[in-house]
Amino acid sequence: MDNVKQILLLKNIAVVGMSPNKQRPSYLVAIYMINNGYNITPVNPNYKTIDGMECFPNLESLKIKIDTVTIFRKSEFVMPIVKSAIRIKAKAIWMQDNVINQEAKNLAKAAGMKVVMNDCFLRRHQLMK
């Protein structure tokens, strides 16, 4: 089974960079995930809640175990997020469309994580149905 399929089976997801703006991809993808049985935890230091969900400033402040860290941030901001994901012992990193950081990908893989880079969770989930 490839990385995409394996990651799609993991249900507890932190969405780093989630926005409350209903037009933003991070919001649309997160709501899609919720509607398809995933447990979503928003991570964005600018908000206390998003759509009634408690929002956390960073991965280390999460109160539950996270399987996958989905990243909706610019590529240059990915490395500290991956380092945090390693610290919280997440199993996978998913960098959304146009989020590309080879060094962060290599670090995550070296830590034993599954990694998808420059791809859309929603699109890949729909293709798997």
**Confidence class for position 44, pLDDT limits 50, 70, 90:** very high
pLDDT value at residue 60: 97
Residues 25, 28: Cα–Cα separation, whole Å: 5
Phi, psi dihedrals of residue 30, rounded to the nearest 5°: -60, -45
Is the Cα torsion angle 97, 62, 113, 67 positive or negative in sign?
negative
The one-character DSSP state at 56 is B
* Residue among 114, 63, 107 at smallest CA distance from 82: 107
pLDDT in tens, 45-72: 999 999 999 999 999 999 899 999 999 9
